[in-house]
Amino acid sequence: MTRILYALAGADRSRPFSPHVWKVVLALAHKGLPYETAAVGFTDIPAIEGGATKTVPLLRDGDRLIVDSFAIALHLEETYPDRPSLFGGEGGKVLSRFVESWSQTVLHTALVRFVLLDIHDCLGPEDQAYFRRSREVRFGKSLEAVVEAGAGEIETLAAKLEPLRVLLGKQPYFGGETPSFADYIVFGPLQWARIVSPKTILAAGDPVTDWFERCLNLHGGVGRSVTAA
Ligand SMILES: N[C@@H](CCC(=O)N[C@@H](CS)C(=O)NCC(=O)O)C(=O)O
């Protein structure tokens, strides 16, 4: 059966960096499902699978095409129930939606201010032009101005991670003793920053850093298949 994960990369297609794609990489590894990666640039996305999506991840699973990281995780859970669970039941699905909302509104919002220019710099010329144009419309200012305005955010990020720190003081993973999709939701954006940016985001000795390192080691160290910037 054909299983293809469409991933997003810069000029170096061997370094996929999308946070949402990384959630799916870990989810597929968690389920032990083999797949091929098709790495594309931003401006290639509209042509994937005959125009199936405006965003990645997109997963082709046999004759099914699934867009959106959470929808893909739900699909994997429903289609492969005999494999290790990503959610640990219906309650896990609902609560993982909260983790997704928190990650999207707090973590992505903070991290993007550090990594926006780093992302731009790792893209090929055509994708750089698209990225600058689309993100400057989205933020209402230049990429440089966004990064400059977010300069103090590194200090405030540590405080934003306090809920994670408290939780990880009680259990090794958001999923409890073993990881779940909730872990991968938060892993994704931190992995995005690790791959595109040389800036130090997580401090040594922080329980969140220790958890992130544990996640990098999961499933044969698939998270380390792309080196840090
Ligand atoms: N909610 C979606 C978000 C997907 C998303 O925003 N993907 C970005 C890459 S990180 C994308 O494909 N952007 C295309 C573009 O900006 O043109 C998910 O969880 O999969």
Domain spans of the chain? 3-79, 90-223
Q: pLDDT tens digits for 194-229? A: 999 998 889 999 999 999 999 999 999 999 999 999
Residue 151 scores a pLDDT above 90? no
Q: What is the pTM of this model?
A: 0.97
- CATH number for the segment(s) 3-79: 3.40.30.10
Task: Fill in the amino acid letter for 8.
Answer: L
On average, the pLDDT of the chain sits at 96
Cα 85 to averaged position of ligand 1 atoms, centre (Å): 25
* Site to substitute for ligand 1 among 8, 17, 44, 55, most atoms within 8 A of C-beta: 55
8 lines ligand 1 (CB under 6 A): yes
39: enclosing H helix or E strand: strand 36-40
In this prediction, residue 185 carries a pLDDT of: 98
pLDDT (mean) for 22-42: 98
79 lines ligand 1 (CB under 6 A): no
Query: Could you say which of 3.30.565.10, 1.10.10.10, 3.30.70.100, 1.20.1050.10 is the CATH number of the domain covering 90-223?
Result: 1.20.1050.10
Cα 2 to averaged position of ligand 1 atoms, centre (Å): 23
Residue 96 scores a pLDDT above 90? yes
Provide the edge-to-edge strand list for the sheet that holds 64-67. Answer: 36-40, 3-8, 58-61, 64-67
